[in-house]
Structure 1
Amino acid sequence: MTESTTGAIRLVAEREIRTFLRAKGFWIGLGVIIVGLFAISVLPSLFGGEATKVAVVGVAAQAVPDTMDAVEAGSVEAAEELVRSEEVEAAVVPDGGGLRVIALTNPPTDVLGALTTAPPVDLLEPAEIGSGQRQLVVTVFGVVFLMFGMGGMAIAQSTVTEKQTRVVEILVSAVPVRALLAGKVVGHTLLTLGQVVVLAVLTPVALKIGGQDELLTLIAPALGWYVPFLVLGFLLLSSLWAVAGSLVSRQEDLGSTTGAIVTLVMVPYFLVTFFNENPAVMTLLSFVPFSAGVAMPVRMFTGEAAVWEAVLSLGVVAVTAVACLALANRLYAGALLQTGGKMGLKAAWSNPD
């Protein structure tokens, strides 16, 4: 890369950064992310579901409040089987003159809090990390990645605006098309890094206010992996957003080219959210470039993945990002100066830049 090209990339990147730092939408978006971070940390109860199902044996049923879904079991052994099969969250069984609670991996705080007395708890498969902590980390990692991934839409909108106002013709007369693409990607990646730094500073504050101080110690190693995954994931998606913007000439047509990218952002997020307790699915998602940014850091947090797996996964995302940038470079150059409607990928690929 020549010095002039490097300088052109820097100029475009600086222009993108200045433009978005002056935009109200950028600060509103960052504010929403920060508010969401504090809300997730402080209000974990918002993620609660339906009534807790509890297995009961004999007279233990009298101690379970009506707000819980009590499932009758014929014996303590039968109640344990219901817990092991995860048909119920816990079992409340007689224990001499009192009660005993049986759970699978973690003490069921909601069950214990609902009982009039605090009985001893037997854990069948004790876990180092509580299910509540796991869900909190999955939610935070997933939501942040989703918001940054969708934030790449700004690159597509910026590209379309430049085409629609014919500003792009002035820009390409001053800098090469490839430098224009690279500058946009670099500029928005730096903006993303800046927002990550802000979140890194505020996260301990949010966890402390939410009474999750100990979680920070547990999550710190996973954060070390999450940041590079987040940046590389954004780099991967940003090139695709830029191509989506270059294929159309009006903002109204942008939805026709961004649908596939929105799917690539949304589907992995929902898969990780719904299957985060399924080791086989999470292992698979850890090596799919578009979902690895959330799945692998979560597995590192829970101790389910080795360091070599994280390195390999990061390499897969990096290689995919480079390949997408190379592909985007050709498509972007072929479509940027074309006006008059939506341009197909085949036409953009074949069009000489």
Structure 2
Amino acid sequence: MHPEPAEAATRTSTRSTSGERRTQSFVENVSLIAGREITMRLRSKAFLISTGVLMLAVLASVMLGSIFGSQSDVPKVAAVAGATDVVESNAALDVVPAADQDAAEQLLRDGDVEAIVAPAASQPLGIVVFGLDQAPTSVVSALSVTPTVELLDPGAVDPTIAYLVAFGFGIVFFMSAITFGTTIAQSVVEEKQTRVVEILLSTVSARALLTGKVIGNSVLAFGQIVAIAALATLGLLLTGQRVLLGGLGSSVIWFVVFFAIGFVMLAALFAATAALVSRAEDIGSVTTPVTMLVMIPYFLVIFFNSNPTVLAIMSYVPFSAPVGMPMRVFLGTAQWWEPFVSLAILLATAALAVWIGERMYRNSLLKTGSRVPWGEALRG
């Protein structure tokens, strides 16, 4: 007769130095299971190859961004009357005459020019350069002497950079959560289908088994995220993109923190839903709701990264906060206290998800055959 999951205790025994048998603690059992999960993944060629490909893709995207960013056309500038003589002979600039400062600003805001060159008697060159939301480095570098640079909208972020950052946060969260979540689900069903779980539950509790699986895969996922962040940082340093690196610093730190907690929540749900079935063919049908919780934030941040209202809502919804809040930190639209409030909501939701997931997992693990209904898994 198999032990009921709800009553299974951590009964793994070892011999002490005196020869007496002792029962291993819950922490020791969790450590063993987590270590087993980590070892199995690290021995998998598929896991190592996919991780290597992801690392190369991150580094290549940083390098290509730098290469394409440097291959720009001749910058077009609006020259206000009085400054035309200074820049019209510069072959590195495409000069568009403007009647006055207002006309030049309109051209800049419409995107017709990259910068404004206006007369300024107090400056070394007799001119001053105006940019819209960032310093027009291509224009500045085209001038023999660096002039004073002023920004019309100093707090704005380049839309292209904002999109790339949003895409980066979204794809990393999506790929890591789906990859490791699917791995956990397959592991649970495989153990259930081969009845290995019955042997495991004779020595450890269902709670210890689930905790070990979640921790083991969370450690691997967290390690992968840290490696991606380190590699991206190295790429930005090597390509001289220190300005972008400085802007990304705090948002990347928040992303890592939010990801670590969010993944634990998702991992528990993947394991719990997978325990409802006994065949590998049925995994997709039961894990679809959890998969959707991962996919929705990815598509929202891709399509609405420039919409402050959508990002604000995403930053407080637990399943999208790991992407939404770091994005708002990067854009500078989040107050200093907002990440902490969002993190507290995520922690509470993760604790609730782990509790529900552990209950479903424990009540479904030894039930084979047809799919276990959600209500029965929750009631026990």
Task: Provide the residue aligned with 1:257 in structure 2.
Answer: 286
Whole-Å separation in 2 of the counterparts to 1:131 and 1:21:
39
Task: Provide the residue aligned with 2:374 in structure 1.
Answer: 345
Change (3 A) 1:139 1:39: farther
Task: Provide the residue aligned with 2:339 in structure 1.
Answer: 310
Whole-Å separation in 1 of the counterparts to 2:33 and 2:156:
48
Unaligned segments of structure 2, at least 5 residues: 1-8, 11-23, 70-75, 79-99, 120-128, 140-146
Letter in 2 for 1:208: L
Letter in 1 for 2:28: G
From 2, 9, 12, the counterpart of 2:33 = 12
Q: What is the CA deviation profile of residues 51-91 of structure 1, one whole-angstrom value per residue up to 9, with x for unaligned ones?
A: xxx9x9xxxxxxxxxxxxxxxxxx9979977976xx86768
User: Is contact 2:105–2:116 with CA below 8 Å preserved after alignment?
Assistant: no
Letter in 2 for 1:250: R
From 172, 187, 198, the counterpart of 1:169 = 198
User: Where do 1:1-353 residues align within 5 Å?
Assistant: 4-44=25-65, 104-106=132-134, 124-127=152-155, 129-151=157-179, 152-350=181-379, 352=380
Whole-Å separation in 2 of the counterparts to 1:78 and 1:249:
71
Q: What is the CA deviation profile of residues 217-273 of structure 1, one whole-angstrom value per residue up to 9, with x for unaligned ones?
A: 222222221211010111111011101211111111111012111111111111112
User: Is contact 1:37–1:203 with CA below 8 Å preserved after alignment?
Assistant: yes
Whole-Å separation in 2 of the counterparts to 1:47 and 1:159:
45
Change (3 A) 1:340 1:76: farther
User: Share of identical aligned residues, percent?
Assistant: 43
Bigger Rg, which one: 2
User: Is contact 2:189–2:277 with CA below 8 Å preserved after alignment?
Assistant: yes
TM-score by length of 2: 0.74
User: Is contact 1:41–1:136 with CA below 8 Å preserved after alignment?
Assistant: no
Change (3 A) 1:176 1:82: farther
Q: What is the CA deviation profile of residues 138-195 of structure 1, one whole-angstrom value per residue up to 9, with x for unaligned ones?
A: 2222221111111221100111111111111111111111111111111111112222
Change (3 A) 1:108 1:267: farther
User: Is contact 1:146–1:266 with CA below 8 Å preserved after alignment?
Assistant: yes
TM-score by length of 1: 0.79
Whole-Å separation in 2 of the counterparts to 1:6 and 1:148:
26
Change (3 A) 1:77 1:193: same
What secondary structure does 2:25 align onto? helix
Whole-Å separation in 1 of the counterparts to 2:328 and 2:241:
20
Letter in 1 for 2:31: R
Q: 1:283 deviation in Å?
A: 1.1
User: Is contact 1:193–1:231 with CA below 8 Å preserved after alignment?
Assistant: yes
Q: 1:347 deviation in Å?
A: 1.9
Change (3 A) 1:137 1:210: farther
User: Is contact 1:90–1:103 with CA below 8 Å preserved after alignment?
Assistant: no
User: Is contact 1:43–1:210 with CA below 8 Å preserved after alignment?
Assistant: no
Q: 1:314 deviation in Å?
A: 0.7
Change (3 A) 1:92 1:250: same
CA RMSD of aligned residues (A): 4.0
Q: 1:17 deviation in Å?
A: 0.9
Whole-Å separation in 2 of the counterparts to 1:181 and 1:266:
24
User: Is contact 1:82–1:88 with CA below 8 Å preserved after alignment?
Assistant: yes
Task: Provide the residue aligned with 1:62 in structure 2.
Answer: none
Whole-Å separation in 1 of the counterparts to 2:342 and 2:132:
31
Task: Provide the residue aligned with 2:123 in structure 1.
Answer: none
Letter in 1 for 2:47: F
Change (3 A) 1:295 1:166: same
Whole-Å separation in 2 of the counterparts to 1:82 and 1:341:
67
What secondary structure does 2:251 align onto? helix
What secondary structure does 2:316 align onto? coil
Change (3 A) 1:348 1:106: same
Change (3 A) 1:88 1:259: farther
Q: What is the CA deviation profile of residues 72-115 of structure 1, one whole-angstrom value per residue up to 9, with x for unaligned ones?
A: xxx9979977976xx8676899999xxxx9975346899x8xxx
Aligned residues: 336
